[in-house]
Each structure stands twice: as C-alpha cells, then as structure tokens.
Amino acid sequence: MEYRKLGVSNLQLGTIGLGCWAFGGGSYWGEQNQKDVDRVVHEALECGINYFDTAEVYNEGASEISLGKALQGRRNEAIVGTKITPANTEPATLRKHCEESLARLNTDYIDVYVLHWPISPHSIEHFSDDARLFVSPPSIDEAFHTLRSLQAEGKIREIAISNHGVKQMKQVLGTGTKIVANQLAYNLLSRAIESSILPLCIERGVGVIAYMPLQQGLLTGKYHRPEAMKPMQARSRHFHHTRGSGTRHGENGAEQEVFQAISEIRHIAEEMHVDMSVLALSWVISNPAVTTAIVGCRNTKQLENNLQALDCPLDLSTLSKLNDITLPVLEKLGDNPDYYENRLNSRIE
C-alpha cells in the first residue's frame, strides 16, 4: 500500500480506501450481513487500508453503526471519515448531528468530518423538506465556525468538504478554515474535475478523495449495454433520462460514447490480463493529485480484487490510451461533476 498525505493535514491515507455506504443494509444497495462487514473491515486493515468513508445519511445511520461495530477494538488503526448533510449545518443542529455520528460510530472523535454537499437551497432540498431552509439556508461562516469549535474540542480532527466546485471551494476557504480535502466523483467515465476543480485543489493544498472510482459498477466490465444496468444505478447523466429510477437530469445522456469506451477499456484489460475494475481503479490512483480512492466492498472477494490495483501500475502509454478512449465521454458530459442534475441546474459551482 502506498500512503499519501491528505492535503495540509498530518494524516497519511492509503491510496485505496473503503467506501462503507452498503454497510448496515438499505434500499439502495440491498441487505448487508454484519459478519461480512466485519470480515471486510478486518481484512482491509490487515492489507494496509486505513481510510473508511461513511455518512450520516447512508442507510439512515446504519452504515455508521455497522462500521463502529466492525472497528471495535481496532479503532486506533483506522482513519474514519463521515459526512454531514448541508441541511444539518445550523450551529446547534450541526453540533447535535456530530454527537449523534460519534455515538453511532462508538468513538470519541471523527478523523475527517466532511460537509457532504455545498450549503445551498438546491443541495439542501435533497436532504430536507423544511421550506425554511430553502428560503434562508444556514450561514457558511457560522457552519464552519461551529466545525472549528468542534475541532478545538477534539471531537473532530480535520475538516473537509465534498462535491464543491471552484466558486464554492473559494467561499469555504474564505472562512479561514483549514480544509484538508474535497471529496469528488472521479473515474475514467467521470473526468469533469480535471478542468478547474482539480487544479485549484492542487494550488490550495486540498487533498482529493475520489469517490465512485468504478462509476456505480459500470467500470467492472460486466455491463455490455445500458439496458443491463439496474435503474437505481442508471440515474446519472451517463444514461438517457428515461433509463434510471427517479432520474432528475432530463438529459439525453452519453450512452453511445460510454459503452464504446467501456468496450475499448475492456479490450485493454484483456490484453493486460487484469480485471477491468482493477485497470479502472489503477487509473484513478495513478493521478498523484488523488490522495485516496474509496471503493465499496460487500465481501472479502471484492476487496481482494480491488487491492490488485496496487500491483497494476500503468505506464504513460497506457494512461494516454485510456485518456484518449474516454475523451469523447468527457466532451459529451462536460466539465460539471454533478452527474445527477441537469448541467444547467447543477449543485456544484
């Protein structure tokens, strides 16, 4: 395992981290056995994975509870990141929700406390039906003042953001808060952050935690046509708006470009004698600006497969081929990384 410094913090994260959304079981990913969670977490620790990513909204808190159980007796070996929704960032509410996450995780401190989405009416509406918050969203200054207070009290070690664009990053940095990371969607089929967000992260010393490195399973190689994707995992702008369940973006998608790219990526993987998911994950962590890529694992078999990316370094020629193959997807989808909203109505600015 290679370790990289997380932004301006003193934390060293393994280049592969563990995404814990499925932990606890829920409607999005289905049931999840706690014994499997325990096995995955313990084997991950043995293999050098030290970053574990969850959120208060994942399975309505069940993910945090499940991760806390799995880390019992081994908490000091892990760097735990959890996220608070923008709807819960009024000072008293934020403090209450932080305490509740601490209790569910069965820990005295959170290593990396992440604002899940920017504080704006459009982001908030996905987490709350409180019309008051749409009209008068929480103050960014007050929210980050509260986060700094929780940090001073030792309840959180580091403060991070997620899904923030250039304008929003500058607003947050303008509060005087030390931001150690921006967690962003990044993979071969989702490269929007490369144009302006990633360069700003590098310039300001903000680490990048890449989520969705396999694009909801698209880059595992098992899907050969858009019809094969489950509707819940086909809600992004990669697909036609009629394809997914509860799709909001209303766009025509980039299905032709996406599946042409997948076919060509699969061919390269076959030539290299590696799984396509291993190749895709290796591409993400080949970018030195990425601190860690968080991948969901429901069992140890999936974990062991993902870890093969550590032994699959990509030369410049292969990286160039993969970039060329996926360029049509990037050009079709554009440079806004909110893949679930219409590009003219994005939550990321």
For residue range 12-71, what is the model confidence (pLDDT) as tens digits? 999 999 999 888 877 776 777 899 999 999 999 999 999 999 999 998 999 999 999 999
DSSP 8-class letter at 86: G
Model confidence pLDDT, tens digit, residues 57-97: 998 999 999 999 999 999 999 999 999 999 999 999 999 99
Reference 11, options 42, 54, 41, 52; nearest CA is: 52
Find the mean pLDDT for residues 123-142. Answer: 94
Which burial class, exposed, middle or buried, applies to 130 when counting CB atoms under 10 A from its CB (0-12, 13-18, 19+)?
A: exposed
DSSP 8-class letter at 108: S
Mean pLDDT of the chain: 96
Reference 239, options 221, 230, 251, 228; nearest CA is: 251
Measured at the CA of 316, the angle between CA 314 and CA 318, to 5 degrees, comes to 60
Bridge partners of residue 229, in order along the sequence: none
The pLDDT of residue 25: 79
Find the mean pLDDT for residues 305-312. Answer: 96
Domains and CATH numbers, the chain: 3-216+281-312 (3.20.20.100)
Which structure tokens are listed for 247? 């799709």
- Would you say the C-alpha torsion 106, 108, 110, 116 has a positive or negative sign? positive
The pLDDT of residue 21: 85
Which burial class, exposed, middle or buried, applies to 75 when counting CB atoms under 10 A from its CB (0-12, 13-18, 19+)?
A: middle
**Within its chain, how far is the Cα of 57 from the centroid?**
14
Model confidence pLDDT, tens digit, residues 153-174: 999 999 999 999 999 999 999 9
